Structures are given as structure tokens and as C-alpha cells.
Amino acid sequence: MSILEMNKVNVFIGKARILEDLSLVVNKEEFVALLGRNGSGKTTTLKTIMNLVHPSSGNIKFNGIDITGKKPFEIARLGIGYVPDDRRIFPNLTVRENLEIARRKSEERGFDIKEIYSIFPVLKSYENKLGIYLSGGQQKMLALARALMSNPHLILLDEVCEGLAPKVVSEICKTVGELKKEGVAIILSDQNARFARELCERVYVLERGVVRWEGTMNELWKNEEILKYLTV
């Protein structure tokens, strides 16, 4: 069963159309990659789901509920967690405080501090450290952990590997992979197709706000034309 459906969504900024008739589906507990070059519309797609960018037409459904036009906090309360590319942690709060401020109880799942620290042991060791003093990789882990504290059904991950060293990317890949055991669905927006290959079952490739190609990850790695476009 699908958890998210975007149906012919169009987004304009001024007179420029950023997304054109964009449609995609994410199933429950599925990891889906959103790949494309800079400016292809990946970040705009995630922001549109959260209604941080307003669609001019089309609709978005989450768990069968039309969320088009709902306020971002209402969408979050329905069970969507958003991890933006700039992380947006609270720099003057400790790791523990950043997590506690996002806590939301759920009858269906129970991410709490103890479980978060078991998934992100590095955060446990820095729980009293201010966010501003964490490394870029640690801040991204904290942003993801904070999203999990709201007990979401779907997480939107935007450029989680951008600007990080290969060793840190490998660590984050392992951590995100462990979330498959938790029954959470993920949309992973990234330029790094190799990173997405380790995690995702299906792929949407965007070009100038249009879905240029969609299919399974295995099919993607047999498609030389699309791989050349992605410059893997």
C-alpha cells in the first residue's frame, strides 16, 4: 500500500515552472531515491510535500489524506519528518535538548531517547555538547535523530551526504540502513547515486522538474544513458 502519492504537481516560482506534472508514489516501509543534478527539482519536491513551497496545481496524499495546502506543522503531526540539507538544528541547545524538543508520542511506534542513542551511539557520547560544536556529519545525524523523535511514518532526507568525507558517508549509510528494521519509509534526495544504491529499492530521476526516468535500482544500474546523465 502507498503511504505518499504526488499527482501531477506543478510548482512555479514567479513565472518559472520548477516542477512540471510531477507524480510519484512511495509505499509503506519503502526506501525511494530521488536523484538528479543540481537544479533538477529534488529539494523543491520535498519542500512541496511539506508545503514549504506551495503547488499551483495537482495534489498530494499521505496515508489517503489530502495534505495539499495544509500547514507544515499539520503535515508533520500526521507523520512526516523532514531533514533539510542545511540541517537546521538548534546550535545553542545540547544534543539531548535538540532531541527532547522534538519528542512526540505515538501509539504505533516508540522512538525515545534510549532507542535513538542505540541507533546513533555517537550522539549519546555528545549528549551534553552544544549543537554548534558538532561536526557536519554529527549535525546531520542529529537532524535525522530529531526527525525520528517525532515518530514519523515517512522521512524526507535531503542531500544527507553533501560535503561529507567518504568515511562519514559510509557511517551515515549504515545508520540509515538500520532504519529499515523500524518500519519507516524514506525519500532520499541526493546527487550521490552510489549512496542511494546501498539503501533504496526504487528510483525517480528528475531533470528540470520533470520525472525523466523511474524504475528499480537494479534497472537503473543497467541503464547507461541515465547513469551517464547522473555522472555516477
Each residue's pLDDT expressed in tens, for the chain with a length of 232 residues = 899 999 999 999 988 999 999 999 999 999 999 999 999 999 999 999 999 999 999 999 999 999 999 999 999 999 999 998 887 888 899 999 999 988 876 555 568 888 889 888 889 999 999 999 998 888 988 999 999 998 899 999 998 877 777 888 888 888 888 888 888 999 999 988 888 998 999 999 999 999 999 999 999 999 999 999 997 5
Residues 30 and 5 sit within 8 Å (Cβ to Cβ): no
Domains of the chain (ranges, CATH numbers)? 2-24+32-230 (3.40.50.300)
| 123 close to 95: Cβ distance less than 8 angstroms | yes
- Grid cell listed for 181: 528494521
Residue 15 burial (10 A CB sphere; 0-12, 13-18, 19+) = exposed
The residues facing 13 across adjacent strands are 16
Return the half-sphere exposure (C-beta side, CA atoms, 13 A cut-off) of residue 107. 0
By residue count, the chain amounts to 232
Q: Within the chain, how many helices (H) and strands (E) appear?
A: 10, 10
